[in-house]
Amino acid sequence: MSAAPAAPTTREHALELLGAMLRIRAFEDRCAQLYTEQKIRGFLHLYNGEEAIAVGVLGALGPADAIVATYREHGHALARGVPMGPLMAEMYGKRTGCSGGRGGSMHVFDVGRRLYGGNAIVGGGLPIAVGLALAEQYAARPGLAACFFGEGAVAEGEFHESLNLAALWKLPVLFVCENNRYAMGTALERSEAVTDIHAKAAAYGIRAAAVDGMDVLAVEAAARAEVAAIRDGAGPGFLECRTYRLRAHSMFDAQLYRDKAEVEAWRQRGPLIRFTTSCKATGLISEEDFQRLERAASEEVEAAVRFAEASEWEPVADLARHVYAERAP
């Protein structure tokens, strides 16, 4: 199956997509700064360069659909509608965070929005998504599960087991591989004999396509086509979104495995530059529109930081809560 072509858009749609990607970029850049100030601790994996995937795929899903992501999930959370204040508070580890301050950067969770992590184990979200899809099928509900993971996960047994079971039972699940070419610090061609990731899914009889993950319209169009097929009972779908992370794997990564010129070349092809340039060329948006959306994103981020800073830490007396099941009276 070939990827669907990029769909035409309206000015309203263009502003919505650009605004969503700018919000993610502004949030991530501020988190990087806060990490250097030791306001955010632990591990921090940023989504810069991959914004088109979260915005494009999440835009094709409905509120009843379940989402499972990786530890690089802040963009998915924002695109899903998690408020920026509680998300930032979670990064700080405050009790007002969307996971109560218990999850931090790698375990963002919002059951009301059906966002089931933030999973720190590589490939660990795949069987969870399959289970969520099985629940939808078993209960004869119209929802589906969307699972995001990096190309490094395809070397894990969970990847093959999950795809096999999803295909065998024709489960309503959309697998989204965010192929950013480097699993931590190892180039794809140094770890995989077959570098076309979607070919691995096709081997299980799953509809599979490769899409330009730097093009938000292409991602959205491909995701909408797959979601429609899944809802029609056609079984699981698979999208390999070819992208590139513009920041290091994590804040501890010295990036000695890739050349600076390579990063800069990909930066010029990034989803924000590409989409903004295209929309300006077609007259859908203006420079004033871009600056207005950028200011709005920056102001929202600063409000989120103020919320997190003003929030309370969880009392020490409560630290044992949610660790063991409480005995019924």
Task: Reply yes or no on whether the pLDDT at 109 is more than 90.
Answer: yes
Can you give the residue range of the structural domain that contains 294? 19-306
Residue 43 within a domain: yes
Residue 12 within a domain: no
Residue 156 within a domain: yes
The residue-averaged pLDDT of 8-14 equals: 88
| CA dist 7 → 221, 244, 275, 280 (Å) | 6, 22, 13, 17
| Distance separating alpha carbons of residues 98 and 102, to the nearest angstrom | 9
DSSP annotation string for 169-203: TT--EEEEEEE-SEETTEEGGGT-S---HHHHHHT
DSSP annotation string for 23-82: HHHHHHHHHHHHHHTTSS-S-----TT-HHHHHHHHTTS-TTSEEE--SS-HHHHHHHT-
The pLDDT of residue 278 is 94
The structural domain count of the chain equals 1
Residue 11 within a domain: no
Task: Reply yes or no on whether the pLDDT at 1 is more than 60.
Answer: no
Task: Reply yes or no on whether the pLDDT at 5 is more than 60.
Answer: no
Task: Reply yes or no on whether the pLDDT at 306 is more than 70.
Answer: yes
DSSP annotation string for 225-241: HHHHHHHTT---EEEEE
Residue 316 within a domain: no
The residue-averaged pLDDT of 97-108 equals: 94
The maximal CA–CA distance of the chain, rounded, in angstroms, is: 67
**pLDDT band, very low/low/confident/very high, at 6 (cuts 50, 70, 90):** low
Q: What is the pLDDT of residues 235-271, one digit of tens each?
A: 999 999 999 999 988 988 888 899 999 999 999 999 9
Residue 236 within a domain: yes
The pLDDT of residue 305 is 98
Residue 325 within a domain: no
Q: For the chain, what percent of residues have pLDDT higher than 70? A: 97
Q: What is the pLDDT of residues 195-250, one digit of tens each?
A: 999 999 999 999 999 999 999 999 999 999 999 999 999 999 999 999 999 998 89
* Whole-prediction pTM: 0.94
Residue 229 within a domain: yes
The closest alpha carbon to 219, from 21, 14, 56, 20, belongs to 56
Q: For the chain, what percent of residues have pLDDT higher than 90? A: 87
CATH number of the domain where residue 263 is located: 3.40.50.970
The pLDDT of residue 260 is 92
**pLDDT band, very low/low/confident/very high, at 8 (cuts 50, 70, 90):** low
